[in-house]
Structure 1
Amino acid sequence: MDFGLSQDQQMLRDTVARCLADTCPLDHVRECAEGEASYSEKVQSALSELGITGMMVPEQHGGLGMTLLDAAIVAEQLAYAVAPVPFLASHVLAPIALAQAGNEQQQAEWLPQIASGKAQIAVAIAETIEARDGAGVTCNSGKLDGTALFALDFTGAEAFLVADTAGRMHFVPADAPGLEKIPLTTIDRTRSVGEMRFETVAAEPLANDGGATAARLRDAGRVILAADSLGAGQAMIEKAVDYAGQREQFGRIIGSFQAVKHMCAEMAARHEPCRSLIWYAAHAFDAASDEATLAACHAKSHTGEVYRFVARTSTEVHGGMGFTDLLGLHYWFKRIGFDRQVLGGPEAVRAEAAARQGWTRAA
């Protein structure tokens, strides 16, 4: 059995890659990362024209009704270009949550806006995985209290989808009375994360499905983060190989040294199997629900380890230049670091997978 991308998916990949090559050069990434604007309106507008903002929105609400594998393909290209645009929460997780658990009014009001790129919705589900001291949101009589950390696609969001301690999702407008929004600074300046503090904040609950929607979002988010690391890792490997083929030392191209050859070969050998792992996890999300959670855990935990190695090794191949802003290698390095920890680091995700299979007790 051959498992690969369809012709349409290959076209999607190539179209997004060309769009980003035209609109998102490294100098533009640097401007966004070092400036006041968290995101690039130019890149976001170009992606919206391609229909990327509505790819996960059902067709009846103005979207394209595509699959998570399609979204993973786009995520890989966004990471390859380190594109400073909202995607994971606004255009993957939020449409999934609203389509699965939103009521008719929520779907009719917000899904078309997401599809057109007019609305950005942040998602906060970190506490359903690991809760820090003092974090967690409770719901009493339709009112939320507590703190939600690491809301994704935070800056500029018109609304938030928040999980409470029982795993139920709630819809909260950004201007809701009693809501305090605090931007958080992370190592990755190409994406936006924030903290929300709730003090008797009125919220619209999504379906009470026993946490099934939040679990679905965890699976999808982990697969997209793994795909993001795949794209960032591909870029770092290519940059290391290109540099090794140009840099001279002791009168020789450094790529001719056996040690450097081995470093590049080891990166490629660890990187390439991740592609099929991520593709299958994305495929399972839509086509094999009984395997989806474990496949997502495997993809997230394994790529977290592989791309930490790739990020470190690519930087070492570049020598002292690898740490400079001139090359900009740190943008991919930091993106991989962000992907590794968000929605559970490798250790936590492996422990979750082990408990799910009955090998250990759940924490």
Structure 2
Amino acid sequence: MEFGLSEDQKLLQESIRGTLERVSPLDRVRKVAEARETEAPEIRQALVELGVPGMLVPEAQGGMGMTLLDAALVSEMLGRFVAPTPFIGTGVMAPIAIAGAGSKAQQEAWLPKLASGSAVAGVAVSEKASGSRDGAGIAASGEKLSGRALFAIDAAAADIIIVADKAGGLHLVKGDAKGLTRVRLTSIDLTRTLTELQFDNVEAEALSSGDAGAVLSRMIDAGRVMLAADTLGAGSMMIEKAVAYAGERKQFGRVIGSFQAVKHMCAEMASELEPCRSLIWYAAHAFDVIPDEASLMAAHAKGMAGEVGRFVARTATEVHGGMGFTDLMGLHYWFKRIGLDRQLLGSPERVRHEAAAMQGWVAAD
């Protein structure tokens, strides 16, 4: 038995890689970041043409009905090229929510639009995944929502937003709903947007045709795996850049890559990051076919990628010396993307605590 990617999955990842090499070069990423744009439209369009927004949308609603492992391969490439385009919320978490808990009418109204790329969905579940902060949280009363949701993903210009309330219920809110205010949050990562959503008696549609609690858990699990895969891609690129620089930069008449200390730094980065790949693949596989293990493996993948990603980001920058801190090299885009991945939907400390609670080693919150 071969434990690896299928030929179709390898082809999928290479197709995404080739496309992003063309449409998401560092110069384009830099322009989006400097202008504080929400995304690069041509990058999103290129991904739409490849069917990426509809990967997890069921075929009955115009999607491709693919697996979370397939989506993880895409997320890895998006991290590798620090692509400024929405994906985790609109392409992964929102379709899971609507397909799992939406009514037939809600599914028919929105899933085909998400699959075609004609609509973008945001997700506001951070209070359930990362813990609530003072003054944050959404209260549901009838068909109205009030309160604040922090760190909403892909919500800056979303047509619909999937919102989790304090009780764990899920709601669908239209982007132009009366009483909804969006405030863009300042983030270290300028390749993606985070939004604070303020609800003042906002009209919402409940997603209540399934077990909302179970669907919310699956949304968070899927999001954590995607963030881990994004970190894997970003970390891999930082290692490659460090190795390339070490082979060119000279000190004392020799390339620095010939010095034992630099060799060790590069080797240690690779040896730390590579095990994350199999863990992320298994976490995505568990989500698809071993649901009893899905939450635990997603927590493990998120926690390990967060810690290893930080080590790789720091070490790759150190290999570059003072040049690593300049905008000319652009390393900071990967560094900061890894930093945001680490915190979204639960820090390593939080997800490790959850993993311990799932196994009965500590009391659950």
Fold conserved between structures, TM > 0.5: yes
Output the CA distance in 1 between the equivalents of 2:145 and 2:102: 18
> What stretches of structure 2 of length at least 5 have no aligned partner?
none
Q: Secondary structure at the match of 2:282?
A: helix
2:349 partner amino acid: E
The whole-number CA distance in structure 2 between the counterparts of 1:12 and 1:281 is 19
What is aligned with 1:346?
348
Q: CA deviation at 1:37?
A: 2.2
How big is each residue's C-alpha offset from its partner over 1:60-85, in whole Å with a ceiling of 9 and x where there is no partner? 11110000000000000011111000
Tell me: CA distance 1:107–1:41, structure 2 relative to 1, closer, same or farther (3 Å): same
Residue 300 of structure 1 deviates from its aligned partner by 0.3
**Is this contact kept in 1: 2:152–2:194, CA < 8 A?**
yes
What's the secondary structure of 2:287's corresponding residue?
Answer: helix
Take 1:217 and 1:36, find their aligned partners in 2: how far apart are those partners? 28
Secondary structure of the corresponding residue to residue 344 of structure 1: coil
**Partners in 1 of 2:50 and 2:339 — Cα distance?**
29
Residue 166 (structure 2) pairs with residue 165 (structure 1): yes
Q: Which amino acid aligns with 1:334?
A: K
Give the residue type in structure 1 aligned to 2:201: T
Specify the SS of the correspondent of 1:211: helix
Q: Distance in 1 between matches of 2:255 and 2:155?
A: 45
* Kept after mapping to 1: 8 A contact 2:77/2:233: yes
Q: Secondary structure at the match of 2:360?
A: coil
Whichever residue aligns with residue 318 of structure 2, its letter is: E
Q: Note the alpha carbon deviations across 1:103-148, whole angstroms, 9 max, x for none.
A: 1111111111111111001001011130000111011112111111
Q: Deviations over 1:286-317 (max 9, x none)?
A: 10000000000000001110010000000000
Whether the aligned pair in 2 keeps the contact of 1:152 and 1:194 (CA below 8 Å) is yes
Return the offset for 1:245: 0.4
Alignment of 1:90-109 (within 5 A): 90-109=90-109
Q: Give deviations 1:1-55, integer Å, cap 9, x for gaps.
A: 4311000000000000000111111100001111142201111111100111111
* Among 292, 298, 303, the residue aligned to 1:290: 292
Looking at structure 2, the residues matched to 353 and 210 of structure 1 have their Cα atoms a distance apart, in angstroms, of 21
Name the counterpart of 1:46.
46
Structure 1 position 210, deviation (Å): 5.0
Q: Which residue in 2 is equivalent to 1:314? A: 316
Alignment match, 2:123:
123
Report the Cα distance in structure 1 between the residues aligned to 2:202 and 2:42, rounded to whole angstroms. Answer: 34
Checking the alignment, whether the CA contact within 8 Å between 1:166 and 1:210 is kept in structure 2 is: no
Superposed CA RMSD in Å reads: 0.8
SS of residue matched to 2:280: helix
Q: Distance in 2 between the 1:323 and 1:37 partners?
A: 23
Where 2:357 maps in the other structure, the secondary structure is helix
Please tell me the residue identity of whatever aligns with 1:205. A
Q: Judge conservation of contact 1:168–1:213 (CA < 8 Å) in 2.
A: no
Give the unaligned 5+ runs of structure 1: none
Contact 2:36 2:190 in 1 (8 A): no
**Is the Cα–Cα contact under 8 Å of residues 168 and 209 in structure 1 kept in the other structure?**
no
In 2, Cα distance between equivalents of 1:323 and 1:17 = 26
Letter in 1 for 2:300: H
Give the match for residue 226 of structure 1: 228
Q: Secondary structure at the match of 1:348?
A: helix
Alpha-carbon contact 2:101-2:212 (below 8 Å) kept: no
Which residue number corresponds to residue 138 of structure 1? 139
Aligned partner of residue 91 in structure 1, secondary structure: helix
User: Number of residues paired by the alignment?
Assistant: 363
Segments of 4+ moved more than 4 angstroms: none
1:325 equivalent to 2:327? Answer: yes
Contact 1:154 1:194 in 2 (8 A): yes
